[in-house]
Amino acid sequence: MSRLLIIGPPGAGKGTQAIKISERLEIVAISTGDIFRANVKGGTPLGIEAKKYIDNGDFVPDSVTNNMVEDRLNQDDVANGFLLDGYPRTSAQVDALDAMLAAKGIALDAVLQLTADDDELVARLLKRAEIEGRADDTEDVIRHRLSLYHAETRIVVDRYEERGIVRKVDGIGAIDEVTDRVLAALNVNA
């Protein structure tokens, strides 16, 4: 498995697991959140536009996100595979990703869905905000992001479930335990 997507609510551990999985499978982890934060910090035009949405806990518009992801998937280091984290989040983004991959003659191998309880996620994200000083992680913003996830992103999982490529993994527990569950779901020896 070399072309993967990891999906789940904010705070479910997608970023942490993406790094672990990409190292284990020797593929590139591509996090739209990291790219957005780097652009915000750098004050780029994309960062300035993205910051308006991120600060309110909203998703960055599809047009901006799709162009950024397509550019990233055209870089040489993804030739052996990739793990997308944070994209696609909407049905329209699924269509855009399908078109990007079809143009290359490839498709996703699997979608990893990390699951977790909302109250657990709020507690995790508030703790992370305190440790990392992340202004975008207030309780109101976190609950808004979770609400958006449940309302808008669920269709993404549904569309991939129709294809039979979703692997659900419990995201609660020690990092290595969750990684072992993910690798088992992918039928990869730990």
Name the active-site residue from 128, 143, 159, 168: 128
What the block records as the tokens of 20 is: 């672990």
DSSP 13: S
Q: How far apart are CA 142 and CA 122, in angstroms?
A: 6
Name the active-site residue from 51, 124, 145, 181: 145
Residue 88, annotated as binding a ligand: yes
Annotation says 143 is catalytic: no
Beta-strand ranges (E) seen in the chain are 3-7, 28-31, 82-85, 110-115, 166-170
Nearest to 31 by CA among 39, 189, 157, 140: 39
Residue 124, annotated as binding a ligand: no
Name the active-site residue from 52, 134, 154, 163: 134
Annotation says 145 is catalytic: yes
Annotation says 20 is catalytic: no
Residue 43, annotated as binding a ligand: no
Annotation says 14 is catalytic: yes
Name the active-site residue from 89, 124, 167, 181: 89
Q: What contacts 147, CB < 8 A, 6 or more positions away?
A: none
Annotation says 89 is catalytic: yes
> Known binding site: residues?
11-16, 32, 37, 58-60, 86-89, 93, 128, 134, 145, 173
Annotated catalytic residues are 14, 89, 128, 134, 145
